[in-house]
Chains A and B, each alone.
Chain A
Amino acid sequence: MSSVRLLVGTKKGSFLLTADGKRERWTVDGPHFAGWEIYHMKGSPADPNRIYASQSSGWFGQVIQRSSDGGKSWEAVGNQFPYEGVPGTHQWYDGTPHPWEFKRVWHLEPALNDPETVYAGIEDAALFKSVDGGQTWKELDGLRRHGSGSQWQPGAGGMGLHTILLDPVHPERIFIAISAAGVFRSDDAGKTWRPTNQGLKSRYIPDPKAEVGYCVHRIALHPSRPETLFMQLHWNVMRSDDAGENWQHVSGNLPSDFGFPIDVHAHEPNTVYVVPIKSDSEHYPPEGKLRVYRSRVGGNEWEPLTNGLPQENCFVNVLRDAMAVDSLDSCGIYFGTSGGQVYASADGGDHWNAIVRDLPPVLSVEVQTLA
C-alpha cells in the first residue's frame, strides 16, 4: 500500500511524519539534529531513500546531511560553498555595494533522475550543484555573473536563492527565484541565465520594466505543463504561460495580496493553492483566520478552504518552503506554521487536520509519496 513521508524542517531540528495512504494515523519521528535550524529537506525523486538536509546554526555555520535509508541514519557531507572567482559585490539595503558572503543553504533540490546530483540555493544568492551526493559543491556562476548580479538586493529575510524548479519536459531548463532579485531561467542546464520578470510590479521600483529587483516569494509549476508558472510575489499572485517570459496578475478575490508559499495540485495543473497573509509587517492571516485559498482555474477566482483550520485568534505565518503536495490519487496538501502546527488535507484541501501542533516554528515541509 502507498504511504507518505513528510520531511519537516524547524528552527530547532527536523521531524519525519509518516502515514499510510489513508493519511489518518501519523507517526512522528524526531527531532533529528536537535537544536539546529533545518532550513530545508528534500528526497530524491530517483531514489526516495536518499534525502538531503540543510542544517545550520548561528554558532556553528552550515552542515549538509544526507540519508541513504529514508531518514533512519544520516551522514554529514560537504559544507563548503566557494563562490567562483572574485565574488565582487551586490547592493546592500541602503544601495551601497556589499561583498558577496556565504551565510546558509536555503533550499536543496535533488535532480529528477540521479540521486547523487543535487542543487543548492544559498544566501547570499547563488546556485550550487553537486554530482557526488553532496560531498563537493560547485557554483553555477553564470547566474551570479550574468550581468545584473551587482544590482541584486536582499529582502528582509536576506538575499536567499529559495526556489529551484527543474523542468521535467525540457531537461536543460531550470528556473530559480531570489529575494529580492526575481526569477531567472537557464535553458542550458545552468550555464547561462537571464532574468524573466516582465510583467512583475513592485511599488517602489520606479522603472516598470526593471530587469531585476522583485521580491519573489515562491514559484511553482505542474510537471505536465512546465510552461505555466505560478508565483507568490511580495505583492500579488502571478501567472506566466510562456515559461516566465511574461507575467500577469491572478490575485483576483484573495483577501490579501501577500503570502509566501504557492503550490499546484498533483493531478490538476490548473488547481493552485496559496495562504494569504497580512503584510507588510504583521505577517499573520487576515482577521486571525487561517485559510488556504484554492483556485481551480489557474488564478483570479479563489475559494477559501477552512474546514479544520482555526477560524479565530490565529496569528501564525506560513513560510515559502512550508507547503507541499503528495501524488496519491486523492491529492494530499500539507503546510507547516510558525506556531509549530503541521496541517494535512487528504482530499485536495476540502478537509484539514493538524498532524502535530507543538513543534518548533516550521521552516519547511516536503512530502514523499512512497510505493
Chain B
Amino acid sequence: MKSIWVWVGALALGIAGAVSAYGQDSLPAPSPIEKTLAARATHTTEVTLDKNMLAFAAKFMDDKDGDKDDKQVKEMIQNLKGVYVREYEFDKDHSYTSDEVDGLRKYFESSDWSPMVHERTKGIAEGTDVYLKIVGGQLQGLFVLDAEARQLSLVLILGPIDLDKISALGGNFGIPKDAVKKAQKEVRK
C-alpha cells in the first residue's frame, strides 16, 4: 500500500515538473502594466507568435539559393518557442514611470533568467535591460526592455537562440531592429 503512495507521489511530482517546464517555455500572460501603458500610448504594436506560427512563418523564408546563413536563420526560427513584442509610442517624453519599467522586468527576475545588461540614465526612467535564459550552457531565451524618451519596447524571444544570427530577426515578426542589435552589442561587450 505504501509503495502505491510513493508511486502516486512520484507521478504527481513528474506531472508538476512537466507543467512548470512547459509554463516556463510558454509566452507570459500580458502584465496589467501593459494595459495601462497601451491606454496612454499614442501608438501600440503587439506581435505574438507561438511555436506553431513561427514554424509556419519560417516557410516564407527563402533559402533555396543555398546561402548557409539564411538556412541557419530559418532553422533557428523553426525551433523558436515564441516571440512576444510590445511597442508603445508616446506623444510626451517619459510618459511611463520607473515603477512601471520595474514591474515589466519583474517576470524575468527568476533563477532561469540572468540579467546581462542594466543600463540606466540617472534621474529618468530611460534605459536598457537585457536578460538571457541559459539552460545547459545553451541560450534558450532573450528579453530586451528598451525604454527611450517617447518609446518603450519589449522583446521576448523564447527557444534556442544563436546570438550571431539573432540580428537577422530584427525587422521581422515586429521585432525592432535597434533593440535586438543593441542587445547583441551589449551582451558581447
Q: Do A and B come from one complex?
A: no
